[in-house]
Amino acid sequence: MARTYNDLYLDMRQRLLGSGVAMASLEAREIMRHATGRDRAALARDRHFYVPPEAEAAALALLERRLDGEPIAYIVGEWEFFGLTFAVNPDVLIPRVDTEVLADAAIAAARAYGAGARVLDLCTGSGCVGLAVAMYAPGCRVVLGDVSDLALKVARRNVRRHDLSARVACMNVDALAAAPASLGAFDVLVCNPPYVPDEEWENLDHSVRDYEPRLALEGGPDGLRFYRSVVSGWRPALRRGGRLLFECGVGQAEAVRTLLYREAYGGIETLRDTGGIERVVMGSPVWNEAIREGIVEIG
């Protein structure tokens, strides 16, 4: 029996709710949009029209994938972040709303340095943070860096998608190695590194553990492997007065602040996400040798 767009949407929403999907309304709408090729306005306008059989079959096939645990972002091939839409696939992490705190702080930092500011988004994945900076801090130049060529392929798609090729470049760089001198120096280094401790891997949600890239998640025994490397090995990539910004996992902010302090970073600040979790830690290298030697306490 033929169903209207609204009936199909409501049926899928109910099945998603019954499976414990928190954002069932959003996800049912995204499946409808992707399967039918209609945007949200068209779906609302035509909600009482009957769905063509092939479109209904496509929507139900996508629904089954979601009910099996596959993330909706990978099913539809894109996700929204900071008001922008990014292509995603299983080679990159799905952008999270918590990471918008990092993007917002990086945008503010890039704007403060003004036109011509150089920004490096290290461990860039889909490029969502660096591209948000490029979009909302006009005049800055951004490098998207990642060790994964597959991730960089996705990042390049997103650079083209947002018509930012003139100001954004993608480069293969390893956050666990020393900063290449050929990269030059940056005013802002923003990094959302892998930070899941080894012992927590098996406790991750099925949709994360079995679908998202392990390379972009595993942070070593204590989850701090990448923070240690970037704080020390990438310090030369920051100009005098430059700013290093990290996203942190739950309960990691204090350890990251300590790493920055020990490597003589000053102006250390912490930002909380909408859930009250300490999500972003940032600081600037101190160049005064007296401070570096511990004669003066770093604030």
| CA–CA distances in Å: residue 16 to residues 28, 29, 31, 230 | 8, 11, 11, 41
Would strands 78-81 and 84-87 be described as parallel, antiparallel, or unpaired? antiparallel
pTM: 0.92
**Residue 299 scores a pLDDT above 50:** no
Q: Give the per-residue pLDDT at 297.
A: 44
Per-residue pLDDT at 289: 53
Each residue of 18-35: pLDDT tens digit?
999 999 999 999 999 999
Can you give the pLDDT at residue 296? 39
Taking only Cα atoms into account, the Rg of the chain, rounded to an integer number of angstroms, comes to 21
Instruction: Quote the percentage of the chain above a pLDDT of 70.
Output: 96
Q: pLDDT tens for residues 66-97? A: 999 999 999 999 999 999 999 999 999 999 99
The pLDDT value given to residue 1: 66
What does the pLDDT read at residue 298? Answer: 40
- So what's the pLDDT on residue 26? 94
Sign of CA pseudo-dihedral 92, 188, 235, 252: negative
- pLDDT tops 60 at residue 291: no
The two tokens of residue 199 are: 């012992």
In this predicted structure, the answer to whether residue 275 has a pLDDT above a threshold of 90 is: yes
Q: How far is CA 60 from CA 16, 35, 266, in A?
A: 12, 9, 54
- Are 1 and 7 in contact by the 8 Å Cβ rule? The answer is no
Q: Model confidence at 2, in pLDDT bands (50, 70, 90)?
A: confident
